Amino acid sequence: MGLDKLISMTSRLFFFGALVLFGLALIERVANAAGYTILQLYRGGRLLEFAVVLLVFVIAMELRELKEELKSRKP
């Protein structure tokens, strides 16, 4: 497995994880508005923070791939 494939898979995994965390944060927020809680360990805002951290890594990996592609196009 090449480095490019590993970075691509990691980027997809982090993006999917961020989407899951965002969905859980939304569900937790709706539950809190109704007077309930679903997650005992983390609050909804903390889940959003984790999602943002994962998305920052995804953006960094995508920018690295874009830089490598632009570098390979130069003659």
pLDDT > 70 fraction of the chain, expressed in percent and rounded: 99
pLDDT > 90 fraction of the chain, expressed in percent and rounded: 48
Cα dist. 74→19, 61, 62, 64, 67 in Å? 35, 21, 19, 16, 11
Q: How far apart are alpha carbons 30 and 37 in whole angstroms?
A: 9
The DSSP symbol for 1 reads: -
Q: Which of 7-16, 34-43, 65-74 has the lowest mean pLDDT?
A: 34-43
What is the sign of the dihedral through the CA atoms of 15, 12, 7 and 10? Answer: positive
Q: Is the separation of the CB atoms in 7 and 61 below 8 Å?
A: yes
Give this prediction's pTM: 0.81
